[in-house]
Amino acid sequence: MSAPEDDRDHHHPAPMSDVEVRARALEELLREKGLVDEGFIDAVVSAYANDIGPMNGARVVARAWVDAEYKKRLLADATAAIAELGYGGPQGEHMVVVENTPTVHNVVVCTLCSCYPWPVLGLPPRWYKSAAYRSRMVREPRVLLREMGLDLPESVEIRVWDSSAEIRYLVLPERPAGTEGLDAEALASRLTRDAMIGTARP
Amino acid sequence: MTIERGAAAEVAQMAGPAALPRRNGELVFEAPWQGRAFGMALGVVQRLGIPWREFQQRLIAEIGARPGAPYYDCWLAALERLVVERGVTSLAEVAAAQRRVRHDSS
Q: What is the pLDDT of residues B23-67, one digit of tens each?
A: 655 577 777 788 889 989 988 998 899 999 999 999 999 999 999
Residue A44 lies in a domain: no
A23 and A113 share one domain: no
Residue B105 lies in a domain: yes
Residue B42 lies in a domain: no
CB contact under 8 A, A30 and B43: yes
ipTM over 0.95? The verdict is no
The total of structural domains in chain B comes to 1
Q: What is the DSSP string of A147-197?
A: HTT----TTSEEEEEE--SS-EEEEEPPPPTT-TT--HHHHHHH--HHHHH
CB contact under 8 A, A21 and B94: no
> What residues of A are annotated to the active site?
110, 113-115
3-state DSSP assignment of residue B89 = coil
Residue A135 lies in a domain: yes
Residue A43 lies in a domain: no
Quote the pTM value: 0.57
A26 and A89 share one domain: no
CB contact under 8 A, A56 and B19: no
Q: Using CA atoms, how far apart are residues B55 and B57, in angstroms rounded to an integer?
A: 5
Residue A106 structural domain: 53-197
The model's pLDDT over B56-76, given as tens digits with 9 standing for 90+, comes to: 999 999 999 999 999 999 999
A79 and A18 share one domain: no
The model's pLDDT over A52-72, given as tens digits with 9 standing for 90+, comes to: 567 789 999 999 999 999 999
Judge whether A139 is closer than 8 Å to chain B, CB to CB.
Answer: no
Q: How many CB pairs under 8 A join A and B?
A: 138
A128 and A181 share one domain: yes
A30 and A111 share one domain: no
The total of structural domains in chain A comes to 2
**SS3 of A43-57:** HHHHHHHHCHHHHHH
Residue B13 lies in a domain: no
Judge whether B4 is closer than 8 Å to chain A, CB to CB.
Answer: no
Q: What's the CATH number where A93 sits?
A: 3.90.330.10
Residue B74 structural domain: 68-106
With CA atoms as reference, report the closest residue to A29 among B33, B2, B83, B73: B83
